[in-house]
Structure formats: C-alpha cells, structure tokens
Amino acid sequence: MRSLRLHGAATISRAAFAVSAFIALSACEKNTFVAPPPPKVDVATPVQKSITRYLDATGNTAPIKMVDLVARVQGFLQAINYQDGSFVKQGTTLFTIEPETYKLKLEQAQAAEAGAQASLKQAENDYKRQADLVQKQAVSQSTLDTSTSNRDNAQANLQQAQANTRIAEVNYGYTNVTAPFDGIVTAHLVSVGELVGVASPTQLATIVALDPIYVNFNVNEQDVLRVREEARRRGITVENLRQLPIEIGLQTETGYPHEGTLDYVSPQVNQSTGTLAVRGILKNPDRVLLPGYFARVRVPFEKTEKALLVPDVALGSDQAGRYVLVVNAENVVEQRKVTIGPLEGDLRVIESGLKADDKVVVAGLLRAIPGQKVDPQLKNIESGNAATK
C-alpha cells in the first residue's frame, strides 16, 4: 500500500514538472521574435532656385580670316622678312621678289607717259593754230581734220601710257608680299633664290587671323524648335538671337571660361543631318584658342524661376525611365517617375513628377524599399553633402 502511494506521488510529480516545463517553453517561444524597427533613411525636400537653361552642343574653332600668300609676279625670291610662326601687323612686308626689274619697267612706263603728254601738248597746239587759220580761210578744212585726228590720237596714246604706268606700278608693288591683316604667318614654303610665279601663282605661306575667332557648331532640329518657340514667347527676333551670349570650354578646361556672342545662324536645316549650322565669335587677344580645337559650347536661352532640384545620386533608373524615392505622410516609401532636366553642379533639375513639399530619399537608398515603412530623418540638401552621406 505504501509502495502504491509512493508510485502515485512520483507520477504526480513528473506530471507537474512536465506541465511547468511546457508553460516555460511556451513563454520562451512567445518572447523570441521582436519586429525590427523601420530602417532610417535621410530625406529632404527639393531645392527651389532660379536656373538658366542652356543649349549644349559641341563644335570646332575656326579662323575668322585665313589667306594663302602667293607670288603674283615672276622672279627670284630675294628675301624672307619674317620669322616662321610669328605674329605680324597688317602691311608688314613678308617676302621680296626681285624688285629691280619691275622698278625699271615702271620707270620705262613713266618715261613713255611723259613722251605721250608732250606729244599731246604739241598736237593740241597744232590743232588750235589750224582752227584759227580755218577761221581766216588761210587753210583748207582737210588740214584742220588732220590736225584734229592727230590731237585725238595723241590723247589716246597718253591714256594708254598712263594705263601702262599703272600696271607697272601694280606689278612693282607685287614684288613686296605684305600681310593683308594682323595674324600669324606659317612656315615659308619656298626658299630665297627660288624662282616663283613662273606658270601660275606660287604659294609662299599662309597667314591666319586669331583675334577674334569663330566657333562652328550644329544644333539638332528639336532644340531649334524649342529655342524658336521660347524666342517667340519672349518676343525675340532672329536678329536678337544673333546677339545671344555663348560660352565655350576646351577639353582640358573646367566649365566654360571663354565668352562670346552668336554671329551667324543658317537660314535652313540640313535635311541629311537634321541639324542647323550656327556660328559664334569670341575675342581671343591672348591667342589661347587656335583654329581646329574641339570645343564644348553652351548657349543660354531661358531662365526658370523656382525650379525643383534634387541630388543627382538620388535618382534611379529602370526600363520605364528615371525615378526618385519619396516618403509619404505614413512614412511609406513610394517610387515616383520623374522627367529630368540639366545638371546644376551636384543637383539635377526635375522637370515634372515632383512637388515642392515631397520628401525625397537622398541617402540610405538601399534601405528604402517601395511599399515599406521607414524612419525618415529630415535633412537639408547641400551640394556635394546630403547626397553623399
């Protein structure tokens, strides 16, 4: 009997222990899972500021004037009067071509002209005498006619002699090849003592004007339509468009340090390329810009007040285009499709798809999943700072 009671007590003890263990295990299982807090992300409202919109293009610099210097008379090259690649002023003598022969031809023509003047004077005096004698009926009319003919021939001979003198002067002037404008002269293509101008004009060198200088570039048809529409809206004529400022930068330069104005706009679009040829002109006193340089060109054509800008790194892209992540009033992340504009430093202009009070995720983008809650930390957008945290 005692043994039975002991066995029953042991059984009850084991049952109580099992119940206690089950209760403890159940309590432990309820406390093992704790929902994590929403991830923290940095958000900011878009920056609002006035921006200038630019028409961007690429082009090449070109000389405003470039002329091949040629020998226009035949002769031996007597002297080269400049250093290859040097800057010369207009009127500077660059080459001398055997001037003595042409000087003698000029003197010969001048002497012939003087003889023609003397003959004309004599013919005129004779005509006057014959005219007086005809009035007195001392000579016949035929004698006067002969005197008149001699006078007219003498006048024609003088005119011919004067023309010959002028031609001789011009040819004598061609013996000195001078700079037609200020510019840089290339290396000479002939040597002293060489015979030039024999069968055709011989090229001696080339002179290039560098100040001012052109920049040629092309604008696509879509941009042309956009600029013309903006010009019509602002009441700007085509003539005024030619005075728009332009800015250019070279490959090794930051930004657009060189300034000028539009100089020429083609009257027609090239159908094969769908572009419009445009030319700008820039001052180049230090001759930093050389013809043939590749240049980045931009032309300001519109100013927008209160444009919305966000850090460029806050933008994402997918097959549908560009987007930003925004946090709504319930702190839930939303993916917002946007249309982007030009880059202003580290900030990107947002053309559409965003409001001024939207909270854009600017840092912690990998933790911001559309449709899930986050813990937004409001920040101020500062160029180069907020977007890189």
Note the pLDDT tens digit of each residue in 322-349: 999 999 989 899 999 999 888 887 888 8
Q: How much is the average pLDDT of 110-138?
A: 81
State the DSSP code for 35.
P
Distance of CA 98 to the CA centre of its chain: 45
Q: Where are the alpha helices (DSSP H) in the chain?
A: 2-30, 99-135, 141-174, 221-234, 238-241
Q: What is the pLDDT of residues 176-190, one digit of tens each?
A: 999 999 999 999 999
For the segment(s) 65-208, the CATH number from 2.40.50.100, 1.20.58.760, 2.30.110.10, 3.60.10.10 is: 2.40.50.100
Contact 313, 306 (CB under 8 A): no
The beta-carbon contacts of 188-191 under 8 Å, at least 24 apart in sequence, are 188/80, 188/84, 188/95, 190/71, 190/77, 191/77
The answer, yes or no, to whether residue 5 has pLDDT greater than 60, is: no
Overall CATH class of domain 41-50+305-388: mainly beta
Q: How much is the average pLDDT of 146-165?
A: 86
Residue 75: band (very low, low, confident or very high) from pLDDT cuts 50, 70, 90: very high
Largest CA distance in the chain: 200
Please state, in angstroms and rounded to a whole number, the distance separating the CA atoms of residues 88 and 81. 11
Beta bridge partners of 135: none
Exposure class string for 205-222: b at 16+ Cβ within 10 A, else e: bbbbbbbbbbbbbbbeee
Contact 127, 146 (CB under 8 A): no
Beta bridge partners of 60: 216, 294
The answer, yes or no, to whether residue 24 has pLDDT greater than 60, is: no
Please state, in angstroms and rounded to a whole number, the distance separating the CA atoms of residues 189 and 200. 15
3-state secondary structure of 3: helix
At residue 26, the pLDDT reads: 53
Closest CA to 57 of 279, 288, 267: 279
Closest CA to 313 of 301, 324, 329: 324
The answer, yes or no, to whether residue 2 has pLDDT greater than 50, is: no
Please state, in angstroms and rounded to a whole number, the distance separating the CA atoms of residues 289 and 249. 10
Contact 303, 52 (CB under 8 A): yes
Beta bridge partners of 297: 57, 248
- Domains in the chain: boundaries: 41-50+305-388, 54-62+209-304, 65-208
As a whole-number percent, the residues of the chain with pLDDT over 70 amount to 86
Write out the DSSP string of 301-331.
EEEEEEEEEEEGGG-EEETTEEEEEEE-TTS
Closest CA to 335 of 312, 358, 313: 358
At residue 389, the pLDDT reads: 34
Please state, in angstroms and rounded to a whole number, the distance separating the CA atoms of residues 361 and 311. 10
Report the CATH fold assignment for 54-62+209-304.
Answer: Elongation Factor Tu (Ef-tu); domain 3 (2.40.30)
The beta-carbon contacts of 10-16 under 8 Å, at least 24 apart in sequence, are none
Exposure class string for 293-312: b at 16+ Cβ within 10 A, else e: bebbbbbebeeeeebbbbbe
Residue 32: band (very low, low, confident or very high) from pLDDT cuts 50, 70, 90: low
The answer, yes or no, to whether residue 87 has pLDDT greater than 90, is: yes
The residue behind tokens 């432990």 is: 28
Q: How much is the average pLDDT of 284-298?
A: 91
Contact 64, 204 (CB under 8 A): no
Distance of CA 111 to the CA centre of its chain: 58
